[in-house]
Amino acid sequence: MNNIKGFPDSFMWGGATAANQYEGAWNLDGKKASTADMMTGGTHTVPRRITVTTEEGVHYPSHEAVDGYHHYKEDIRLFAEMGFKSFRMSIAWSRIFPNGDDATPNEAGLQFYDNVFNELKKYNIEPIVTISHYEAPFALTDKFNAWASREMIDCYVRYCEAIFNRYKDVVKYWITFNEINSLIVPAGAYLAGALLVDKRGGVFNNTAVDSTQLRFQALHHQFVASAKAVKLAHEINPDFKLGCMINYSHGYGSTCRPEDMLQALRMDQINNMMSSDVQVRGEYPDFAKRYFEEKNILIQMADDDEQILKQGCVDFYSFSYYKSHVVGTRPEGDETQGNVFGGFKNPYLKATDWGWQIDPVGLRYILNHVYDRYRIPMMVVENGLGAVDVVEEDGTVNDTYRIEFLRAHIEQMKEAVRDGVNLIGYTAWGCIDIVSASTGEMAKRYGFIYVDKDNEGKGTLKRSKKNSFYWYKKVIESNGEDL
Ligand code: BG6
């Protein structure tokens, strides 16, 4: 039923972070290294590296991040002041199972999230929990080359069982994997820490060889792990709501030449729809079968995998949205940038300082496009502008550029709701400044709350409100009417 008025009263306004970009405390209270903890700092032009041991004198941004581990009370109070109804966060797997295959979970790690959930409850903020956000215990990755091996499935399901049981009365919304479709490309597999490969598909140890075959096999293992987790979750608490999470970078055809449009369609199918088809409908789509054949990809499946996928369909569809690109014939050198999926520049769009093309209308397009396909509740769980902020002498940050970006996207979301899309929530990415996933920088800021810390890891970690803080508070108060 169309909601001509706009956002429903129950709309879950909020913000989002990920453990490895926010918490720090990488080796405290029993936690051991995750894949993200082995990633060095980088910049827009200098790529991050994954190291197999932590190197002396090298900056690893996740080790302290913005120290959410010790600041979460203060931060949640600020979220509450903005009026957050929801907070998307992730659990650091290696805080719960430090080695990934430990006999019992780490009580201190479980206790930390008890405390976080209690704090959220105090302010009636609904947690939306990502189970694996671009990280896994490094020990597992080292042992198995992570998701290249089927063994990861059981380790992941045991971890899920521990957190589902522990938090069954305080968490309702769960996301099994952040941006699961990222694994399709080398940059995504690297960022997700899902394989021991580097950004260009290089290899870190001689047992691992990156290939399209390996990435799709790893993705299949994550699909099975996700489906098993969904089934288990529904058994533990039938009220649980489980979601998929897709990195949605929409590719428009570069021209109306039929071949360009067809190429855009194919890319949308493989990059975006294949993963959600498996997670929402419980089976690989037919176009994937043809694609695998053409690319000589042979997915090794256990006898009951197809049945497991069918039994583990998610309840809602969530996605991240930052940018769009163009697909088809274009001169070389016309490429656009992004953290995972690239394509060509669109002459009608402007880009951020990091070269991500800004396209609010694309958000309405995707919401309609995906809702038409699945007809299940949708959430935008990441969206925002990474920008350099300047702190004025009086301590203010006049981030009008961020307000403009978010306003334009929220306007388009509202249009999508009026189109009839069942959109239930929006969590702005990096609601407090955190470490950038792709570059490891602090200078690429998304927050409503400024954190005093720089790219070298220096700063007081002091929190302060940017102008966008007051603006977002007003947006939430008016349920998206006062933009
Ligand atoms: C998403 C990731 O792809 O993009 C986040 O889920 C990430 O972890 C976000 O932070 C923004 O990217 P970046 O590289 O600007 O931090």
What number is the ipTM of this complex? Answer: 0.99
Tokens, residue 112? 């930390």
d(CA 41, CA 62): 9
- The best mutation among 429, 433, 435 to test binding of ligand 1, ranked by most ligand atoms within 8 Å of the C-beta, falls on 429
pLDDT of 211 reads 82
117 lines ligand 1 (CB under 6 A): no
pLDDT of 202 reads 46
308 lines ligand 1 (CB under 6 A): no
134 lines ligand 1 (CB under 6 A): yes
Pairing state of beta strands 250-253 and 241-247?
unpaired
Protein residue closest via CA to atom 8 of ligand 1: 437
Average pLDDT, rounded, for the chain: 93
Asked if residues 138 and 93 have their Cβ atoms less than 8 Å apart, the reply is no
Q: What is the pLDDT of residues 140-171, one digit of tens each?
A: 887 888 898 999 999 999 999 999 999 999 99
Confidence band for 193, pLDDT divided at 50, 70 and 90: confident
179 lines ligand 1 (CB under 6 A): yes
Confidence band for 209, pLDDT divided at 50, 70 and 90: low
Please give the distance, rounded to the nearest whole angstrom, from the Cα atom of residue 64 to the centre of ligand 1. 18
Q: Which residue did the predictor score with more confidence, 215 or 469?
A: 469
Confidence band for 10, pLDDT divided at 50, 70 and 90: very high
Within 10 angstroms of residue 170's Cβ, the number of other Cβ atoms is 16
Please give the distance, rounded to the nearest whole angstrom, from the Cα atom of residue 436 to the centre of ligand 1. 6
Catalytic-residue membership of 179: yes
Q: Which residue did the predictor score with more confidence, 253 or 201?
A: 253
440 lines ligand 1 (CB under 6 A): no
Protein residue closest via CA to atom 2 of ligand 1: 437
Pairing state of beta strands 316-320 and 241-247?
parallel
Query: What predicted TM-score, i.e. pTM, was given to this entire model?
Result: 0.96
Look at phi and psi of residue 101 and say left if phi exceeds 0, alpha if psi is from -120 to 50, else beta.
Answer: alpha
249 lines ligand 1 (CB under 6 A): no
How distant, in Å, are the alpha carbons of 14, 16, 199, 342 from that of 189?
28, 22, 8, 14
pLDDT of 201 reads 45
Of residues 450, 274, 250, 458, the one with CA closest to residue 361: 250
How distant, in Å, are the alpha carbons of 104, 194, 366, 409 from that of 455?
37, 25, 34, 28
Confidence band for 208, pLDDT divided at 50, 70 and 90: low
Which domains, ranges and CATH numbers included, belong to the chain? 12-477 (3.20.20.80)
Protein residue closest via CA to atom 9 of ligand 1: 437
Q: What is the pLDDT of residues 237-257, one digit of tens each?
A: 999 999 999 999 899 999 999
132 lines ligand 1 (CB under 6 A): no
Catalytic residue among 56, 382, 392, 481: 382
Catalytic-residue membership of 283: no
Confidence band for 1, pLDDT divided at 50, 70 and 90: low
Average pLDDT over every residue of 286-305:
97
Please give the distance, rounded to the nearest whole angstrom, from the Cα atom of residue 438 to the centre of ligand 1. 6
Please give the distance, rounded to the nearest whole angstrom, from the Cα atom of residue 392 to the centre of ligand 1. 27
84 lines ligand 1 (CB under 6 A): no
Please give the distance, rounded to the nearest whole angstrom, from the Cα atom of residue 290 to the centre of ligand 1. 31
pLDDT of residue 284 exceeding 50, the answer is: yes
Query: Looking at 123-132, 203-212, 275-284, 312-321, which range is the least confident one?
Result: 203-212
Please give the distance, rounded to the nearest whole angstrom, from the Cα atom of residue 354 to the centre of ligand 1. 12
The atom number, within ligand 1, closest to the CA of 356 reads: 15
How distant, in Å, are the alpha carbons of 24, 178, 427 from that of 382?
21, 10, 6
Q: What is the pLDDT of residues 443-475, one digit of tens each?
A: 999 999 999 999 999 999 999 999 999 999 999
